C-alpha cells in the first residue's frame, strides 16, 4: 500500500500505525498485543540482518520483561545504532556482526538468533542495569549458573563440542578475550581447570570434581522452606522393652517391600522373618524383607543418623547392601553407574549422585524438627535415586532412623496408602508441591502412632479395621481410604 494511502486511512481511523512504514487493519486489539504477535516479523522487516543476542539469546530468543512492563528484545546489528521503539516493546540494538556460522534463522526472514556458543560469548561481555531495566548481558554469576546447567544437561561429547564452538565463534567475532573467559568456565565445569575462579556454588563443586544437580537442590530448598513454615507436631514414643520393638518393625519392613512390588501374605512374611522359612521359589524376595527387617528392628542401627556428607554416603551404602544382599545383579552397596528413571521422571545423573547427596544432606541437618528432617531425608534419597534398585526402601529407612533417633513415632506406609504416598512424591518431584507430601506423611505417622503394635494379632485386627491391608487401586476405585482406629477417634 502506498504511504500516502496508508496515511489517509490512518487519519480516517481505518488503519493504525504500528511503526514507521508499518500499519495494521486490526482496530480492536491493543497495539502492544499486535506487536507481540508479529514481533519477529517486524524486526525482520525493520532491522534486516539483526541477530537476537545477549540476555534474549539466553532466554531462547524471547523478550525480557522490564519493571515498567516494557518487553525488551536484545539484538546485534551490523549497521544500526539506534534502538527500535514499538508499542509495549523495545528492540535494544548493540552494534556488532550480523549472522555468523551457527546462528539460525528465527521465526521470520531477516532475523536470526545467536548460536549457543555465540550467546555464551556475548553474555561474557560486561554490562550494567538501567533504572527499571535488566542489564543487557548476564552477570558473571548468572553466566556461571547457565554453564553449570549446560554441563548437567549435556553429554561429555556434546559439551566438548560446545567448547570448540565457543572458540570458533570468538574468532569469527574478533572477541578472543571474551572467548577465553567462556572457555575457562567450560573447562572448570569439566573439572579440567581447577585454577579458574568461580562463585556459583554448583559450578565450584563441579570444578572441584564433585558435581551436583542444581535443579534437585532447588527442589530440596522448596521442600525445606515449606517444612519450616509448618508448626512442629512432635509424636514421642518409647519402643525400648516393648513387644512393638519387634512387631512394628515387622510391619514396617513388610509394607515397605509391598510398596515396591515385593508382595507376600502377612502370614508368609511372618514365617520368613520369625521362623526363618525361606520359600525356595522366591528366595531373593524373601531376603529383601529379611534385610529390611534386619535394619529397622535393630535399635542401634535405627538410632544412627549421619552427621555429615561423608557419613551419609557410608550409611546409604551399608543399608543398601543389607537390604539387597541376595541380589548381586543389583550391585548391593554400590552407587549407580547408569542413569535410571521411572516413567518420564529421570533421576540424578550418576556423576552427580555424590555431590547432590552431600549438598542435600546439609539441608537435612539444618532442620530442627525431627519430622521435617525425616521427610527431607526420605525425599532426598528418593529423588537422587542413587542405586540401581532398592532406592525407596533405603529412603524410608533413612526417614524412620531420623524419627527413632529423636524418640519420635515412625512412619509406616500401609498397602492401602501406597498410591497416596507415591502421588505425594510425584507432586513434589514434578511440580514442587510440598503440601501434599507433607500431609500424606503426617497422616501416616498419626495412623502409625494409634495402631496397637503389642502383638501381630492385635496389630492385624486394627490393620483390617482401618482398611490398611486393602489393595490401593481397588480401594481407590471403591472410595475406601485409610482410617484411624475407632477406639482412638472416639476416645
Q: Give the span between the Cα atoms of 119 and 80, in whole angstroms.
A: 20
Give the pLDDT confidence score for residue 241 in this predicted structure: 46
Give the pLDDT confidence score for residue 19 in this predicted structure: 74
Which residues make Cβ contacts (< 8 Å) with residue 332, sequence separation at least 6? 320, 321, 322, 323, 324, 325
Give the pLDDT confidence score for residue 173 in this predicted structure: 94
Q: Give the span between the Cα atoms of 286 and 106, in whole angstroms.
A: 59
Distances (CA, A) of 8 to 4, 16, 145, 245: 6, 11, 53, 91
Give the pLDDT confidence score for residue 27 in this predicted structure: 74
Q: Give the span between the Cα atoms of 223 and 376, in whole angstroms.
A: 7
DSSP code for 408: B
Distances (CA, A) of 364 to 157, 301, 361: 35, 19, 5
Q: Give the span between the Cα atoms of 415 and 260, in whole angstroms.
A: 10
* Cβ–Cβ < 8 Å for 115, 102: yes
**What does residue 72 show for φ and ψ, rounded to 5 degrees?**
-110, 125
* Cβ–Cβ < 8 Å for 386, 377: no
pLDDT in tens, the chain (491 residues): 556 676 776 677 777 777 777 767 767 778 888 888 889 999 998 999 999 999 999 999 999 999 989 999 999 999 999 999 898 899 999 999 999 999 988 877 899 999 999 999 999 999 988 878 899 999 999 999 999 999 988 888 999 999 999 999 999 999 999 999 999 999 999 999 999 999 998 999 999 999 999 899 999 999 999 999 999 898 887 554 455 568 999 999 999 999 999 999 999 999 999 998 999 999 999 999 999 999 999 999 999 999 998 999 999 999 999 999 999 999 999 999 999 988 888 899 999 999 999 999 999 999 999 999 999 999 999 999 999 999 999 999 999 999 999 999 999 999 999 999 999 999 999 999 999 999 999 999 999 999 999 999 999 999 999 999 999 999 999 999 999 998 544 33
Q: Give the span between the Cα atoms of 401 and 406, in whole angstroms.
A: 8
Which residues make Cβ contacts (< 8 Å) with residue 95, sequence separation at least 6? 76, 77, 78, 80, 81
Give the pLDDT confidence score for residue 246 in this predicted structure: 83
DSSP code for 241: T
Structural domains of the chain ordered from first start = 3-123 (no CATH), 140-207 (no CATH), 214-489 (1.10.3290.10)
Give the pLDDT confidence score for residue 142 in this predicted structure: 97
Amino acid at each position: 500500500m502506498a504511504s500516502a494511502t496508508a496515511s489517509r486511512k490512518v487519519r480516517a481511523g481505518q488503519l493504525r500505525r504500528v511503526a514507521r512504514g508499518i500499519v495494521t487493519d486490526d482496530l480492536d486489539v491493543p497495539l502492544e498485543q499486535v506487536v507481540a504477535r508479529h514481533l519477529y516479523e517486524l524486526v525482520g522487516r525493520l532491522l534486516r540482518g539483526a541477530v537476537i543476542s545477549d540476555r534474549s539469546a539466553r532466554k531462547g530468543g524471547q523478550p525480557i520483561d522490564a519493571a515498567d512492563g516494557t518487553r525488551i528484545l536484545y539484538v546485534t546489528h551490523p549497521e544500526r545504532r539506534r534502538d527500535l521503539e514499538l508499542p509495549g516493546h523495545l528492540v535494544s540494538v548493540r552494534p556488532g556482526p550480523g549472522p555468523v556460522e551457527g546462528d539460525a534463522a528465527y521465526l521470520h526472514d531477516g532475523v536470526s538468533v545467536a548460536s549457543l556458543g555465540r550467546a555464551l560469548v556475548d553474555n561474557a561481555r560486561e554490562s550494567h542495569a538501567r533504572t527499571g531495566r535488566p542489564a543487557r548481558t548476564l552477570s558473571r554469576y548468572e553466566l556461571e549458573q547457565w554453564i553449570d546447567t549446560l554441563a548437567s544437561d549435556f553429554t561429555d561429547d556434546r559439551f566438548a563440542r560446545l567448547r570448540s564452538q565457543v572458540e570458533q565463534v570468538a574468532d569469527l567475532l574478533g572477541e578472543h578475550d571474551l572467548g577465553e573467559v567462556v572457555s575457562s568456565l567450560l573447562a572448570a565445569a569439566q573439572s579440567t581447570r581447577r585454577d579458574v575462579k568461580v562463585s556459583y556454588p554448583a559450578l565450584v563443586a563441579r570444578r572441584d570434581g564433585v558435581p551436583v544437580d542444581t535443579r534437585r537442590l532447588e527442589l530440596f530448598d522448596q521442600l525445606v522452606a515449606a517444612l519450616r513454615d509448618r508448626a512442629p507436631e512432635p509424636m514421642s514414643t518409647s519402643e525400648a522393652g516393648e513387644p512393638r520393638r519387634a512387631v512394628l518393625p515387622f510391619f514396617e519392613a513388610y509394607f515397605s517391600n509391598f510398596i515396591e512390588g515385593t508382595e507376600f501374605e502377612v502370614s508368609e512374611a511372618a514365617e520368613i522373618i520369625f521362623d526363618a522359612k525361606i520359600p525356595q521359589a522366591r528366595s531373593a524376595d524373601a531376603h529383601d524383607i529379611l534385610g529390611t527387617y534386619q535394619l529397622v528392628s535393630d535399635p542401634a542401627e535405627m538410632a544412627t543418623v549421619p552427621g555429615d556428607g561423608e557419613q551419609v554416603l557410608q550409611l546409604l551404602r551399608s543399608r543398601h547392601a543389607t537390604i539387597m544382599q541376595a541380589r548381586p545383579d543389583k550391585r548391593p552397596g554400590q552407587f549407580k553407574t547408569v542413569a535410571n528413571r521411572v516413567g518420564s521422571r529421570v533421576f540424578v545423573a550418576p556423576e552427580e549422585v555424590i555431590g547432590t547427596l552431600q549438598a542435600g544432606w546439609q539441608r537435612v541437618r539444618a532442620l530442627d524438627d525431627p519430622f521435617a528432617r525425616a521427610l527431607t531425608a526420605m525425599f532426598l534419597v528418593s529423588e537422587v535415586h542413587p542405586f540401581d534398585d532398592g532406592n525407596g526402601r533405603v529412603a524410608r529407612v533413612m526417614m524412620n532412623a531420623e524419627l527413632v533417633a529423636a524418640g519420635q513415632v515412625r512412619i509406616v506406609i500401609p498397602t492401602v496408602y501406597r498410591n497416596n504416598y507415591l502421588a505425594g512424591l510425584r507432586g513434589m518431584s514434578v511440580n514442587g508441591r510440598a503440601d501434599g507430601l507433607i500431609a500424606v506423611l503426617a497422616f501416616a505417622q498419626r495412623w502409625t502412632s494409634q495402631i496397637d503394635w503389642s502383638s501381630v494379632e492385635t496389630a492385624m485386627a486394627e490393620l483390617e479395621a482401618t482398611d490398611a491391608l486393602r489393595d490401593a487401586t481397588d480401594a481407590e476405585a471403591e472410595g475406601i481410604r485409610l482410617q484411624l482406629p475407632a477406639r482412638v477417634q472416639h476416645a
